Amino acid sequence: MTPVTFTVLLPVILFGAAFASGRGAALPYEQVVCGDVEALGATWFYNWDLVNPCPGSRAEFVPMIWSIGQVAELRGLSADGWLLGPNEPNYRRQAEALPEQVAAIWPALEATGRNLASPAVSACESKYDRNCLDRYWLEKFMSACAGCRIEAVAVHWYGCDADALAAYLDRRAEQFGKPIWLTEWACPTWAGDPVQFMREALPMVEAKTERNAWFATRTAGFRFFEPLIDDGLTSLGETYRP
């Protein structure tokens, strides 16, 4: 009986050791390479869309309703798993919307039966960020949607100061008392050394968030952002992989 037990459990233990992390893979639209998910040892992935681009992946796909204009598309979702709310509604040229507008369509998200993460807001920490439409957007949304079902709070962070990021994550957790998902974070090359920042910040991010996803697996066309994968894992990707 003992040999049979070990034979059955050993693959599960090995898989858990390789994939025991809340780290995800952010697959950017036109640059989706499904092999990136497994190459990074990610337990989950997303691509800012509702349709799974990699149905053969053993990792969990988390769909996103990118903007309030996609409400009708929610009807095609199954009731299993998670659903991410709109992307940066408080940021120019993203899914711009007022907190009350997103709160008004939230019942449609609840109707899917999925676990729901809040709209993922831009941190807007810099007073020089002219694209930020409302630094207090998330607070206003949570007030407007006080009776809504929201299982996690999604946020974004771009910067190279690990202490500032830690303080931001703590503040969001204290404000809302829900698990935090850091669905975009990165250190722009003009602001610091991405590898050094990741090495310093990643253990803290893992401790303070339920899930996180570095931006992004591939970054062709995105100035100032290093990729996790190019021809293979970059130094940044090697650091990110569990």
Cβ 138 vs Cβ 121: under 8 Å: yes
Q: Can you say whether the dihedral through the CA atoms of 30, 193, 205, 88 is positive or negative?
A: negative
Domains of the chain: 2-240 (3.20.20.80)
Task: Tell me if the bond preceding 162 is cis, omega within 30° of 0.
Answer: no
Report d(CA 234, CA 227) in Å as an integer. 7
Mapped onto helix, strand or coil, the DSSP state of residue 65 is coil
The pLDDT of residue 126 is: 79
The pLDDT of residue 129 is: 86
The pLDDT of residue 2 is: 37
Cβ 59 vs Cβ 81: under 8 Å: no
Residue by residue, pLDDT tens for the chain (242 residues) are: 433 333 333 333 233 333 347 999 999 999 999 999 999 999 999 999 999 999 999 999 999 999 999 999 999 899 999 999 999 999 999 999 999 999 999 999 999 999 999 999 999 987 778 999 999 999 999 999 999 999 999 999 999 999 999 999 999 999 999 999 999 999 999 999 999 999 999 999 999 999 999 999 999 999 999 999 999 999 999 999 99
Q: Which pairs count as long-range contacts for 172-177, CB under 8 Å and 24+ apart, including other chains?
A: 172/138, 173/208, 175/139, 176/142
- Report DSSP letters for 153-190, one per residue: EEEEEE-S-HHHHHHHHHHHHHHH-S-EEEEEEE--TT
The pLDDT of residue 237 is: 98
- DSSP structure class, residue 118: P
